[in-house]
């Protein structure tokens, strides 16, 4: 599996016949340094953790350009359908959908999930994490935006993720030390942790250094990818 981080919480997963974008906040993302067309080329699916603009990002444009199927909570799916998205697969917390070659499961996250337009916020489902499973590939857990919670241990027991995409930026999510505690206490068997949701805006942590330091001694390997440069994770 090739995993590319585009800054903030935006990732591209490539495996088998699938090209999966998660939370594709690209064109408005000050941390995104690549080419939008290249980053989204060949996209088959867009997965969204929640409705905040820095996660929905370019979803509508990508879906229209590539024909990708959007997978997210029911409320957000219906909203995006109203914005012109034609292929979508609605779900909700605890559910699993088969996307042909891989499955997506929605799990809990502790965060808000409203969309703000013209200064007015309205709810669009709950915030979630996402589990992506494919035969012969590492299982990926994108935590979404979240605080630590003890049921992460249940997520680990149920899904046994190999790779965890973990928010560390503080203020809106866990900070570095709490994120490291979540990994060490509740997900100690994960092979790889990739930090995200940092270095985007001045309000959040500028680097992953604190997380790397706090993970010292853990069995889990921390990978801090260069933005736009894929890393290969073996199953």
CB 86 within 8 A of CB 102: no
- pLDDT average, residue stretch 208-219: 98
For 210, the 3-state DSSP assignment is helix
Give the mean pLDDT of 78-95: 97
Q: Each residue of 149-173: pLDDT tens digit?
A: 999 999 999 999 999 999 999 999 9
Do the beta carbons of residue 161 and residue 153 sit within 8 Å?
no
Q: Positive or negative CA dihedral for 183, 186, 188, 194?
A: negative
Reported as a pLDDT band with limits 50, 70 and 90, residue 118 is: low
| Residues 192, 162 contacting (CB under 8 angstroms) | yes
Q: Which residues pair with 165 in a beta bridge?
A: 142, 194
State pLDDT tens for residues 6-63.
999 999 999 999 999 999 999 999 999 899 999 999 999 999 999 999 999 999 999 9
Determine the pLDDT at residue 121.
81
Q: What is the pTM of this model?
A: 0.98
């Amino acid at each position: 599996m090739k995993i590319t981080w585009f800054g903030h919480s935006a990732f591209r997963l490539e495996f088998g016949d699938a090209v999966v974008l998660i939370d594709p906040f690209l064109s408005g993302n000050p941390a995104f340094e690549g080419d939008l067309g290249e980053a989204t080329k060949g996209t088959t699916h867009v997965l969204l953790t929640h409705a905040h603009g820095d996660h929905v990002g370019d979803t509508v444009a990508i879906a229209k350009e590539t024909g990708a199927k959007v997978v997210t909570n029911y409320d957000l799916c219906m909203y995006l359908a109203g914005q012109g998205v034609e292929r979508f697969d609605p779900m909700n917390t605890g559910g699993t959908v088969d996307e042909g070659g891989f499955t997506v499961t929605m799990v809990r996250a502790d965060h808000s999930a409203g969309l703000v337009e013209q200064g007015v916020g309205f709810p669009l489902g709950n915030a979630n994490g996402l589990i992506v499973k494919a035969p012969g590939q590492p299982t990926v857990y994108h935590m979404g935006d979240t605080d630590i919670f003890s049921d992460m241990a249940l997520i680990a027991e149920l899904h046994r993720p190999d790779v965890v995409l973990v928010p560390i930026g503080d203020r809106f999510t866990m900070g570095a030390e709490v994120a490291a505690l979540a990994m060490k206490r509740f997900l100690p068997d994960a092979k790889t942790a990739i930090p995200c949701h940092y270095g985007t805006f001045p309000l959040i942590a500028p680097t992953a250094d604190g997380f790397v330091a706090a993970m010292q001694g853990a069995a889990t390997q921390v990978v801090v990818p260069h933005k736009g440069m894929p890393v290969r994770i073996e199953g």
